[in-house]
Amino acid sequence: MAYNVKEDGNIATVYLDGEIDMDVTDKAKELIMPLIEAKKEVHLNLKDVQYMDSSGISVLIESHQKAMELGTKVILKEISKSVLKVIMMAKLEQILNLE
Amino acid sequence: MNLSESKDFIVNSGSLKDVRLFSRDVFEKLNLDKNLKEELVLAIAEAAQNIVKHAYKGIEDTDDKMQIKISLNDNKLEIGFFDKGKPVVEENIQHRQLDDIKPGGLGTFFINQIMDDVVFKKDQKKWVNHLVLTKNLSNN
């Protein structure tokens, strides 16, 4: 998994690239959680994520819940077809913020 | 087309990428629909992840291997997972309720959604756990 972060005011956009599985979830959390804890609105751009498994979905849920707890939000942007399919399989399309 | 291929993988999370590569290679030979192929790869990767996460829970560094065997006979796809971890207690395996939104517990749910049957067999002396996932490809 590769990534790139761009910050503009209170919005941090995280561009994730590659496959997100159990092997990289710690890395993903270490990247996303501090931004949420800094109360940034986090935009996760998932257009270049070709694969995500249940571990990756757990990171999305955890990030979403942490953001809600701290009064900010995580928005999933440009979700790739394969990731959207997994989100829908988990019936999370109404729970997570999808754009 | 009938086929049977198997491969051993070291039991750790770093092997999951290789598990997906192996699965994709096998399914490429079967000329499966792209969506179905990716669903099956997800099911296999989730089952392999469960071995790393649960059968080898608390064991960080191991040289143990798990074996994955993909077979197709008369359009029935059978995927076997063999490991030497802690014995699986089937009663303890349950996916979380979907309306209970929390991280974790989705892998088994995905496997059950994608496959027709998920069975633990007690037929192996060489291995501790033997999970068999099946799917009838005639229905797709």
Q: Does residue B70 contact residue B82 with C-beta atoms inside 8 Å?
A: no
Name the minimum distance, in Å, from the CA of B23 to any CA of chain A. 14
Name the minimum distance, in Å, from the CA of B125 to any CA of chain A. 30
pTM metric for this prediction: 0.93
Which residue, chain included where needed, has tokens 């197709």? B72
Nearest residue to B49 (alpha-carbon basis) of B76, B18, B7: B18
Mean pLDDT over the full length of chain B: 91
With CB atoms and an 8 Å threshold, state whether A61 touches B103. Answer: yes
Model pLDDT, residue B103: 66
Nearest residue to A46 (alpha-carbon basis) of A90, A14, A71: A14
**DSSP annotation of A61:** H
ipTM above 0.95, yes or no: no
The alpha carbon torsion through B23, B25, B28, B33 (nearest 10 deg) reads 30
Tell me: the pLDDT tens digits for A26-78? 999 999 999 999 999 999 999 999 999 999 999 999 999 999 999 999 999 99
Kindly list the residues from chain B whose CB atom is less than 8 angstroms away from the CB atom of residue A57: 103, 106
With CB atoms and an 8 Å threshold, state whether A23 touches B53. Answer: no
* Six-digit token string for B108: 């088994």
Rounded mean pLDDT of B22-27? 97
CB proximity A22 to B under 8 Å: yes
Query: Rounded to the nearest 10 degrees, what angle do helices A54-69 and A25-37 cross at?
Result: 10
Choose, out of B11, B15, B16, B50, the residue to mutate when testing the contact with A (most A CBs < 10 Å): B16
Nearest residue to A72 (alpha-carbon basis) of A39, A26, A47, A94: A39
